[in-house]
Amino acid sequence: MALAQAQAQAAQLKKVKKQKVLLMGKSGSGKSSMRSIIFSNYLARDTRRLGATIDIDLSHVKFLGNLTLNLWDCGGQEAFMENYLSQQRAHVFSNVGVLIYVFDIESRDVERDLATYVNIISALVQYSREAKVFVLIHKMDLIQSLTREEVFDRRVNIVRRKTAEAVAIVRKQKPEQSPGTPGGAAAAAAAAAAALAASSPSSILDIDIDMQLFATSIWDQSLYKAWASIIHDLVPNLGVIETQLASVGVAIDADEILLFERTSFLVVSKWTSREGDNNPFGDRFERMSSILKSWKHTCSKFTGTPRNAEQFSDLEIKMGTKFSMFVTKFTTNTYILVCMPPGEARFNSAKLNVAAARPWFRFLDGPVIAPSAGAGSSQHLLAHNSAGGAGGVQSEANSRPLNI
Amino acid sequence: MSSAFTGSSRVDVDNSTAQLPRHTYISPAILNLERVYEQNRQLLQKKDGAKVPDPITIPQTKGKPRLLLMGQRRSGKSSISGVVFQKVSPSETLFLESTARIHKNNLSSFMEFQVWDFPGQIDVFDNPNFAFDMDAIFGEIGALIWVIDAQDDYLEAVARLNNTILHLQRSYPHINIEVFIHKVDGLSDDYKLDIQRDVTIRIQDELSDQGVENAPVSFHLTSIYNHSIFEAFSKVIQKLIPRLGQLEAMLTNLCRTCRFEKAYLFDVTTKIYIATDSTPEDMASYEICSDYLDVIIDFTQVYGNWQRSPDWRKHLEQAPWMQPLEDQVACERAESGMVLSDAQRPIMLREVDRFLALVAIMKEGSYEKMPQINMNVDVVVKGLTEFFEITKPKETRTTTETIAGRAAGGWIND
């Protein structure tokens, strides 16, 4: 009884917290393609089959056990865009957690794209000032690799300038609109803006958009980098995951630990030792995502099971005296990748310890399960780790309160 | 120790002519070349009895089997050579420019190859402006790969191919002719087979009209967007490997003793398999093995290619381990294993030497027996190393000894 009640309460809490993730951009810029690749296990070449998105395609993407992304894939044809900005303005732009705006680098009419972007940003600032903005400069594979960086930098400057312009427009409009009597089609919008302005009049002027830009392409790992940052801030209990991952890493003497979400293989959290920080490959996290995801596709082809199904449970690599590494099924919703120094005994004890650490992370699977179950047994196993010091770290991690 | 996975230079584009003192050892390729050379010599003898070259001297600097890529323009020759030998991603081949002159790539792998990419607009046999030195081109060729664009009108390509085969049959009858019916991705299976049948019939009819029987022509359906191009190259290269049977027997034996479903010996750089066991060919298992190899290479590139600090090593060798790092590892070459979620058909991989890796698909439940399997694999790896050792560079030899050395190298005592 009490449990059911608690669950209901939690569900309610979640409902309130569920924020929108808007995916916008010009028609044909690749919004639905990237969504399908990241969340629906499409291959890059399969996205050719996708047709144009009509109006708004709502989807609830389950991510880990306790996070549901309320993803609004907004069709980008001009008629729809106008509709979002006028009639549906409040409906679309209120309560937005994240806006992902996609630019097609190959687009011919850049000015027009930017004008639409400015409109969208001002609408967003009007209704959800706290929203984070991610701008993806997409289809970068169509630019010859030598000039990619330059083209991207140039575009970044333009977009930043335009964003500032959009904010400035809103800033200018606000004082005029709120006292006056708004008329015409924008009545509803302006009224809402006025309400907003009335509720927090002081903060209007210091609008500061939290914006990140990425160069992406569905044909390489850049897409994973962008999306990993997008989901990174949405994951609840991130601090707890990070500290616990760090305790595991220290206990087993690892160089690097990555935690992946099961279906998308996006990096949820990572921990790197001081030695591992010297790794010259700064893009290794998204590379791992991309490698493992394509490996998953290969497996699904081999076993004949659907792509969304789980494919492999264990992958071990021992590279002589260079390094050892394993990727294994961790909790129900995650995989863990551990890269560690070579050594047979070290490798085997690390595998056991990672298995023992599973209960610490059980909270990743369910919405409200306390992460302390099974601590006793894991403590026992960890005590055997010859690297030492693990027991202490572990109990410390367990006694830490969790905010769910 | 240099490893196939961590070696920095993968493909060696032809810029240095003498990296290794090649004339001091025999590669399997040279063994094969002797056959071709003998054929040329006899030919010359017929033409000009007085000026017969010494039967043993082989043109040293060029002593590598050569793969010639020929075909109509825009049929995909450069794309093929880019994807297979230079690791260009298939989508990047869109940016390739048209080839204006013959591109020569050296490929140092378990055996040395030259890949010559011909411009499609030049007809070697019928060129009014420039007479090609036929011997220089075809003299030591391993295989001629003729690329036909299946999505285009291929009648002209087939006609030119026929012409080429006839020319070659007259002067160099031992050259393998491999026809790649290319760009078949996106075509339905039935249509693919129809095209293959059509091309085969056209060529065979023409050849038999001209009185040429049993020409060594084989056909492959290929595309750079899937594994078929690698599989086709595997078949082409396998024909050039001397004593392939021995390799296959070793793998078949391993499969029997360890209850493997399928085992491949891969060339790591190109992902071409140079041998497999005797069970029937199976595209799906080749695909997963080759992709698995890719995964391992990618992981190693990211995590295995940078130098760790001395402190790191010191830390790892202190208590409680108290052993040098070398003694802590079980196998100094790369080894790897993978289990699928349904626990069926695990895959294992073992690095054999700088260039080769053994990849095998195991049977259900054998992952628990990895220690025993590893011992068996150890033995086979040793055998394979010995097999290739015979053709490795012999140390310092004087020129007079070279011939004797070559003769000795020619004998492989199995």
Q: What is the pLDDT of residues A82-103, one digit of tens each?
A: 999 998 888 899 888 899 999 9
User: What pLDDT is stored for residue A395 in this prediction?
Assistant: 37
How high is the mean pLDDT of chain B? 77
Residue B348 confidence (pLDDT) above 60: yes
Q: What is the torsional sign of CA B3, B8, B11, B14?
A: negative
Residue A191 confidence (pLDDT) above 60: no
Sorted by where each starts, the structural domains of chain B and their CATH numbers stand as 66-238 (3.40.50.300), 244-389 (3.30.450.190)
Q: What is the torsional sign of CA A317, A318, A321, A325?
A: positive
CA of A281 vs chain B CAs: smallest distance (Å): 6
Beta strands A20-25 and B356-362: pairing type? unpaired
Return the higher-pLDDT residue of A182 and A20: A20
Read off the pLDDT of each residue in A296-305 and give the average, rounded to a whole number. Answer: 88
User: What pLDDT is stored for residue A214 in this prediction?
Assistant: 93
Residue B248 confidence (pLDDT) above 50: yes
Is residue A263 within 8 Å of A239, Cβ to Cβ? no
Spell out which residues of chain A touch residue B285, defining contact as CB-CB under 8 Å: 302
> Where does the pLDDT of residue A166 fall: very low under 50, low under 70, confident under 90, or very high at 90 and above?
confident
Residue B303 confidence (pLDDT) above 70: yes
Residue A1 confidence (pLDDT) above 80: no
Q: A320–B91: do the CB atoms touch at under 8 Å?
A: no
Q: B341–A310: do the CB atoms touch at under 8 Å?
A: yes
User: What pLDDT is stored for residue B167 in this prediction?
Assistant: 83
User: What pLDDT is stored for residue B92 in this prediction?
Assistant: 81
Contact map slice: B 335-364 vs A, CB within 8 A: 335-345
**Nearest residue of B to residue A283, measured between CA atoms:** B302
Instruction: For residue A49, give the 3-state DSSP assignment.
Output: helix
**Nearest residue of A to residue B292, measured between CA atoms:** A295
Q: In this predicted model, what pLDDT tens digit does every residue of A5-49 receive, in sequence order? A: 555 555 544 444 567 899 999 988 989 999 999 888 888 888 888
Q: Which of A88, A64, A94, A65 is nearest to A75 (CA)?
A: A88
CATH superfamily of A2-232: P-loop containing nucleotide triphosphate hydrolases (3.40.50.300)
Is residue A246 within 8 Å of A238, Cβ to Cβ? no
Q: Which of A281, A273, A348, A347 is nearest to B304 (CA)?
A: A281
Read off the pLDDT of each residue in A367-373 and give the average, rounded to a whole number. Answer: 47
CA distance A182 to A179: 9
The pair of structure tokens assigned to A193 is 């803006």
B155 has a chain A CB within 8 A of its CB: no
CA distance A376 to A383: 11
> Where does the pLDDT of residue B212 fall: very low under 50, low under 70, confident under 90, or very high at 90 and above?
confident
Q: In which residue ranges of chain A is CATH 3.40.50.300 found?
A: 2-232
B79 has a chain A CB within 8 A of its CB: no
Largest CA distance in chain A: 76
Residue A387 confidence (pLDDT) above 50: no
Read off the pLDDT of each residue in A133-155 and give the average, rounded to a whole number. Answer: 90
User: What pLDDT is stored for residue A146 in this prediction?
Assistant: 87
A281 has a chain B CB within 8 A of its CB: yes
Beta strands B347-351 and A210-215: pairing type? unpaired
Largest CA distance in chain B: 80
The pair of structure tokens assigned to B395 is 């140390």
Strands (E), A169-209: none
> Where does the pLDDT of residue B39 fall: very low under 50, low under 70, confident under 90, or very high at 90 and above?
low
**Nearest residue of B to residue A256, measured between CA atoms:** B303
Residue A185 confidence (pLDDT) above 50: no
Strands (E), B242-363: 260-267, 272-276, 334-340, 347-351, 356-362
Q: Which of B164, B174, B148, B154 is nearest to B206 (CA)?
A: B164
Residues whose CB falls within 8 Å of the CB of residue A4, separated by 6 or more in sequence, listed in order: none
Min mean pLDDT across A17-26, A200-209, B147-156 is at A200-209
User: What pLDDT is stored for residue A369 in this prediction?
Assistant: 45
User: What pLDDT is stored for residue A271 in this prediction?
Assistant: 93
Spell out which residues of chain A touch residue B301, defining contact as CB-CB under 8 Å: 281
User: What pLDDT is stored for residue A248 in this prediction?
Assistant: 92
Q: In which residue ranges of chain A is CATH 3.30.450.190 found?
A: 238-399
The pair of structure tokens assigned to A194 is 């006025």
User: What pLDDT is stored for residue B180 in this prediction?
Assistant: 94
Q: B296–A317: do the CB atoms touch at under 8 Å?
A: yes
State which of A32-36, B98-102, B362-366 shows the largest mean pLDDT.
A32-36
CA distance A205 to A203: 6
User: What pLDDT is stored for residue A397 in this prediction?
Assistant: 39
Residue A307 confidence (pLDDT) above 50: yes
The pair of structure tokens assigned to A297 is 């596709």
Residue A321 confidence (pLDDT) above 50: yes
B310 has a chain A CB within 8 A of its CB: no
B225 has a chain A CB within 8 A of its CB: yes
Residue A200 confidence (pLDDT) above 70: no
The pair of structure tokens assigned to B229 is 């191009």
Min mean pLDDT across A105-109, A142-146, A197-201, A317-321 is at A197-201
Q: A275–B308: do the CB atoms touch at under 8 Å?
A: yes
- A138 burial class (0-12, 13-18, 19+ CB within 10 angstroms)? buried
| DSSP string for B105-137 | EEEESSSEEEEEE--TT--SSS-SS----HHHH
Residue A178 confidence (pLDDT) above 90: no
Residue A172 confidence (pLDDT) above 90: no
B85 has a chain A CB within 8 A of its CB: no
Is residue A23 within 8 Å of A102, Cβ to Cβ? yes
Min mean pLDDT across B63-77, B162-176, B267-281, B385-399 is at B385-399
Is residue A21 within 8 Å of A71, Cβ to Cβ? yes
B97 has a chain A CB within 8 A of its CB: no
User: What pLDDT is stored for residue A206 in this prediction?
Assistant: 55
Return the higher-pLDDT residue of B294 and B53: B294
Interface A–B counts its CB contacts (< 8 A) at 143
User: What pLDDT is stored for residue A183 in this prediction?
Assistant: 42
CA distance B57 to B92: 43
Residue whose pair of structure tokens reads 């199904």 in the numeric block: A309
Beta strands A312-319 and A267-272: pairing type? unpaired
Instruction: For residue A394, give the 3-state DSSP assignment.
Output: helix
Read off the pLDDT of each residue in B14-36 and give the average, rounded to a whole number. Answer: 50
User: What pLDDT is stored for residue A180 in this prediction?
Assistant: 40
The pair of structure tokens assigned to A80 is 């729809």
User: What pLDDT is stored for residue A174 in this prediction?
Assistant: 63
Contact map slice: A 133-162 vs B, CB within 8 A: 141, 144
**Identity at B352, one-letter amino acid code:** V
User: What pLDDT is stored for residue B281 in this prediction?
Assistant: 83
C-alpha distances out from residue B146 to B73, B122, B363, B392, Å: 11, 14, 39, 31
CA distance B68 to B48: 28
Total number of residues shown for chain B: 414
> Where does the pLDDT of residue A104 fall: very low under 50, low under 70, confident under 90, or very high at 90 and above?
very high
Q: CB atoms < 10 A from the CB of A402, how many?
A: 13
> Where does the pLDDT of residue A384 fall: very low under 50, low under 70, confident under 90, or very high at 90 and above?
very low
Q: Half-sphere exposure of A280 toward its Cβ, with a 13 Å CA cutoff?
A: 6
User: What pLDDT is stored for residue A208 in this prediction?
Assistant: 73
Strands (E), A3-91: 20-25, 56-63, 67-74
- A57 burial class (0-12, 13-18, 19+ CB within 10 angstroms)? middle
- Cα-Cα-Cα-Cα dihedral of B324, B325, B331, B334, to 10°? -160
Q: CB atoms < 10 A from the CB of B61, how many?
A: 10
Q: What percent of chain B has pLDDT over 70?
A: 77
Spell out which residues of chain A touch residue B6, defining contact as CB-CB under 8 Å: 319, 322
CA B130-B133-B135 angle, 5° bins: 160
In this complex, the residue of B328, B334, B336 whose CB is nearest that of residue A344 is B328
Residues whose CB falls within 8 Å of the CB of residue B284, separated by 6 or more in sequence, listed in order: A301, A302
**Long-range CB contacts (within 8 A, 24+) of B331-335:** B331/A318, B331/A320, B331/B374, B331/B378, B332/A320, B332/A321, B332/B1, B333/A320, B333/B3, B333/B381, B334/A317, B334/A318, B334/A319, B334/A320, B334/B3, B334/B4, B334/B5, B334/B296, B334/B300, B335/A317, B335/A318, B335/B374
Residue whose pair of structure tokens reads 């609004």 in the numeric block: A72
B283 has a chain A CB within 8 A of its CB: no
State which of A96-100, A188-192, B4-8 shows the largest mean pLDDT.
A96-100
Read off the pLDDT of each residue in B114-135 and give the average, rounded to a whole number. Answer: 74
> Where does the pLDDT of residue B400 fall: very low under 50, low under 70, confident under 90, or very high at 90 and above?
very low
B318 has a chain A CB within 8 A of its CB: no
C-alpha distances out from residue B282 to A122, A321, B121, B234, B294, Å: 58, 34, 37, 13, 19
Residue B413 confidence (pLDDT) above 60: no
A299 has a chain B CB within 8 A of its CB: yes
C-alpha distances out from residue B272 to A85, A327, B3, B236, Å: 55, 26, 17, 10
H or E stretch covering B169: helix B155-171
Residue A314 confidence (pLDDT) above 50: yes
Topology annotation, domain A238-399: Beta-Lactamase (3.30.450)
Is residue A21 within 8 Å of A98, Cβ to Cβ? yes
Q: What percent of chain A has pLDDT over 90?
A: 29
CA distance B55 to A77: 75
CA distance A287 to A289: 5
User: What pLDDT is stored for residue A339 in this prediction?
Assistant: 93
Residue B11 confidence (pLDDT) above 80: no
Residues whose CB falls within 8 Å of the CB of residue A235, separated by 6 or more in sequence, listed in order: A63, A64, A67, A241, A268, A269
How high is the mean pLDDT of chain A? 79
In this complex, the residue of A284, A303, A315 whose CB is nearest that of residue B302 is A284
Residue whose pair of structure tokens reads 């080759």 in the numeric block: B290
Q: What percent of chain A has pLDDT over 70?
A: 77
CA distance A342 to B138: 49
Residue B229 confidence (pLDDT) above 80: yes
Residue A257 confidence (pLDDT) above 70: yes
H or E stretch covering A97: strand A96-104
User: What pLDDT is stored for residue B128 in this prediction?
Assistant: 58
Min mean pLDDT across B51-55, B177-181, B194-198, B316-320 is at B51-55
A10 has a chain B CB within 8 A of its CB: no
